[in-house]
A and B are shown apart, each in its own frame.
Chain A
Amino acid sequence: MSRFGTLPRRLIHLVIILFGITLVTFFLLRLIPGDPALAILGSSYTHQRATAIDASLGLNKPIWTQYGLFMGHLFHGNLGYSYFYSESATTVISQHLAPTVFLVIYSAVLAAVISLPLGFISGVRRGGIVDQSTRVFFTISFAMPAFWLGIILLLVFSVHLNVFPLSGFGAGIAGHLYYLFLPALTIALGFSTVLIRSLRAATISTLQAEFVDTARMKGIAYSKVLRRHVFRVAVLAVVAVYGVNLAYLISGTVLVENVFSLPGLGQLLVNSVSNRDYPVVQAVALLFAVMIVLINLLTDITQASLDPRVGQEIGE
């Protein structure tokens, strides 16, 4: 079996999943009970407008033709037309993309910075002070809604201590880093819970492996064993968790953007729901799903290239 083991099979799965994603997002619009044109127009309903919307959504054609059209548009980068912004959904989305992408990357990095030391130390010094206090803290933070945590952080750091701005996106990289610190921290804390727990578990089980005792009996200093033998193996086990849970992180951005009034995709999604701008909702869902699938693929590849055993494990 090659180094990348089951990667070809994963790619075939990827194509199937992408196809499925388009099906799901296509049929999302079909969930609207009754007349979509009425739902979109609301009180400004007129017969002409309704026919125009039916035509632009292709609702007057048979359903498989509609799906064909949808796919055709998709391949040309056309995600539909926003009735609220009177622009193509692609344009609207590209205007809201930057804050979200920045926030996702920022909080992913922040989460790694928080969790790697805490998770590893908790695993090595099991029952020690770091382990106990992180466990208490993160049991509580696991039960905290991200948006509430965001409000509390705002209250403490922006209102009372006046260290960070209340809202806004800032200018330039340094500005973004400063303005987005609290939002990113909010997301990162939620994300860290999972990471710390799994890194702790991975560290504990790695410590019990025979090769650790062998290394120590060979006379290698304990700190070196931890660094070179235990940490590397334990972190490998967490790579998969990290990748898979980025989906969770993206859900977090939707909420946090609304708390901190960031003009990102999450805010666009929620605003589009209340504006009944269904094509935009559909397009954002599609975009997020494709992002997740690509992140998962990247995780698989990273893992397979870091750890040759992985390819075989996935394929059984």
Chain B
Amino acid sequence: MNQARPAAAAGGSGGSPPGRQSGGSPPRGTWTLHPSEALLKVAERTAKRSRSTGRRRLVLIIGLAMLGVAILAIVGAPLLVAVSPIKIDVLHPLSPPLAGGHLLGTDQFGRDVLSRILYGGRIDLAIAFGATSVTLVFGTIVGLVAGYFGGWVDNLLMRIVDLFFAFPFLVLIIAIIAMLGPSIFNMFVAIWITSWVSYARIMRAQTIVAKKQQYVLAARALGYSRLRVMFRHIMPNTVSAVIVFSMVDAIGNIILAASLGFLGLGAQPPSPEWGTMISDGQNYILSSWWIATLPGLAIVFVGVAFSLIGDGLADILRPGDR
């Protein structure tokens, strides 16, 4: 795309100026876009792109660092906080942050908020990785098969995908959990059932484009088996799109886990989870703001980390796209 632009601009400068400036060299300024400006614009665009590539790599590193900090804190929770997340202290309920040896205060039962945030993150991050990776793999394979085989296979699979897209995601998940009963495992099941469809749709579109490209035709001409063409040739060249999307999806799944916890359909008390903590804290929001707000900040922190990783990966894996 960008390569074509200097040629177009140069063509403009070689041609005659527009009719209304008949005679003499056109004074600079009567042009809304002088051809030389057009060239300059192209140069600037290119420069900006290479500069932003470096910045985006930095973005990726910051994102990875943030996620690393979060994972370390959550895995190393027993080393960081001495108090158990479910230890009730009836003498010190609702004590504000920094008071009485509780860095982030206590909730209505006197449980340490910091400890609950760190331990609670285990559930949310488990969803981010556990639910997302399964749907990523399954959806990618479905999309690959649908795109490569085409015909009735494609038609059938895509109608199923359309069907899932017809439901508002959260409503379908709630309905499934309603039937199975609220629990963390059923939350996983509901996400596995429903959210592979986005991956399938993205991967199918990528595969259809790749199928017509020369390297695939070459592989097929060499007589490689369908499986080999699909998994060894098409997949490595197209998988970046779904990987980038999986970062967005991971944020979605964390928010989903928290939302279900908030609605009382995910993690059940007393096990700590960010969404259930926010839901608990909402009742005390007038007097004790920290119970509801701090777990939310934890979600935002992890979410921004995934978001930055996704942005950085997008640039490194698909350099031509931006």
Contact = CB atoms under 8 A, between A and B. Distances in A.
A217 to B, nearest CB: 6
Contact of A148 (B5, B12, B299): B299
A143 B300 contact: yes
Contacts of B28: none
Contacts of A296: 166
A270 B33 CA distance: 58
Given A21-B163, A31-B176, A145 B169 contact: no
A124 interface: no
A305 interface: no
Interface stretch (B89-97, B230-238, B259-267): B259-267
Nearest to A284: B171
A25 B163 CA distance: 11
B32 A222 contact: yes
B168 A251 contact: yes
Contact of A143 (B30, B262, B307): B307
A77 interface: no
Nearest to A16: B159
B263 A270 contact: yes
B289 interface: yes
A255 to B, nearest CB: 6
A289 B167 CA distance: 4
Contacts of A237: none
A28 to B, nearest CB: 5
Given A219-B20, A270-B263, A285-B171, A143 B32 contact: no
Given A255-B262, A273-B265, A289-B167, A213 B33 contact: yes
B221 interface: no
A290 B190 CA distance: 21
Nearest to A254: B170
A44 interface: no
State which size class the interface on A falls in: 35 or more
Contact of A151 (B259, B278, B301): B278
Interface stretch (B71-79, B100-108, B109-117, B177-185): B177-185
Given A17-B163, A148-B292, A208-B1, A216 B175 contact: no
State which size class the interface on B falls in: 35 or more
Interface string B164-205: 011111111011111111100000000000000000000000
Q: Determine the main DSSP class of B at the interface with A.
A: helix
B166 A143 contact: no
Contacts of A222: 32
Given A144-B300, A269-B171, A31 B179 contact: yes
B174 A269 contact: yes
Interface in A275-314: 278, 281-282, 284-285, 288-289, 292-293, 296
Interface string A88-101: 00000000000000
A33 interface: yes
Contact of B303 (A39, A144, A213, A247): A144
A156 to B, nearest CB: 10
A142 B262 CA distance: 18
Contacts of B12: 213, 217
Interface of A: 13, 16-17, 20-21, 24-25, 28-29, 31-33, 39, 127, 139-140, 142-148, 151-152, 154-155, 159, 208, 210, 213, 216-222, 225, 247-248, 250-251, 254-255, 258-259, 269-270, 272-274, 278, 281-282, 284-285, 288-289, 292-293, 296
Leading 8 A-B pairs by shortest Cβ distance: A143-B303, A251-B170, A148-B296, A31-B179, A216-B33, A273-B178, A20-B163, A250-B168
27 contacts: A13-B162, A20-B162, A20-B163, A24-B163, A33-B181, A127-B48, A143-B255, A143-B300, A144-B303, A145-B255, A145-B262, A147-B262, A148-B296, A151-B282, A152-B293, A208-B1, A216-B33, A221-B32, A247-B165, A247-B167, A247-B169, A248-B168, A248-B169, A251-B170, A258-B263, A270-B265, A296-B166
